[in-house]
Amino acid sequence: EAGVTQFPSHSVIEKGQTVTLRCDPISGHDNLYWYRRVMGKEIKFLLHFVKESKQDESGMPNNRFLAERTGGTYSTLKVQPAELEDSGVYFCASSQTGGTEAFFGQGTRLTVV
Amino acid sequence: AQTVTQSQPEMSVQEAETVTLSCTYDTSESDYYLFWYKQPPSRQMILVIRQEAYKQQNATENRFSVNFQKAAKSFSLKISDSQLGDAAMYFCAYRSALNSNSGYALNFGKGTSLLVTP
């Protein structure tokens, strides 16, 4: 069974540009999470989907970040326009309803220059 | 809010030796889960071991075991017979057992980078 996959693995963009990150969760997992790790700091929660609905987006930094999960399958996280402080590694994770374990993707390393 | 603290940014261990990674957390909840995740360089983060707070017995997975001290809010990871493949970033994480607005989001520490030397 395929794990959580994220695209791209790396992205380098200029300040002011737009970037879209994608996450494909494990098939059948209703819960999908986005996290971010800024260099040297903790991995921080961004938001949580249950199927296609946003259950909690309290961790989203600001309105330059937009997450979607159309049809309750894959999810995208768009940053527009990107700023230097958005650089970091963005992780996606998924879990089953009632499951205690979250399965993570390999992350997308975003560098804004 | 729950916080997780990993006080060791880097640790080093020789092959076949034992190493202990520290983790403390702060919470007012009585029921929760604790995890250790491992992320090898450029690879997925994978679950190493999990502990339910209501269980007194320390979790064990092969060469990995935890020392869970609930009163002290401490959750250290012991790696026995260390192998080169154990080299990775290790993250300690907390998850509430309650269904809250944040669902089952994890609270992570900053991570400990483990180097394994031959």
Q: Domain with A53 in it: what CATH number?
A: 2.60.40.10
Instruction: Write down all domains in chain B, each with its CATH number in brackets.
Output: 3-97+109-117 (2.60.40.10)
| B17-47 pLDDT, tens digit each | 999 999 999 998 888 999 999 999 878 899 9
CA distance to partner chain B, nearest, from residue A105 (Å): 5
Instruction: Report the gap between the CA of B117 and the closest CA in chain A (Å).
Output: 23
**Domains in chain A: how many in total?**
1
Contacts of residue B104 in chain A, CB cutoff 8 Å? 31, 48, 95, 100, 102
- Residue among B25, B31, B45 with most chain A CBs within 10 A, to mutate: B45
Q: What does each C-alpha distance from B36 to A53, A81, A101, B1, B82 come to in angstroms?
A: 29, 35, 11, 19, 16
Q: Helix, strand, or coil here: A37?
A: strand
Q: Which residues of A52-62 are buried (b: 16+ CB within 10 A; e: fewer)?
A: eeebbeebbee
Q: How confident is the model at residue B62 (pLDDT cuts 50, 70, 90)?
A: very high
Residue A99 has what pLDDT? 78
Domain that holds residue A18: 5-96+104-112
Tens digits of per-residue pLDDT, A18-75?
A: 999 999 999 999 999 999 999 888 899 999 999 999 988 989 999 999 999 988 899 9
How far apart (Å, rounded) are the C-alpha atoms in residues A107 and A19?
15
Tell me the pairing of strands B64-69 and B3-5. unpaired
Residue bearing tokens 């998924």: A94
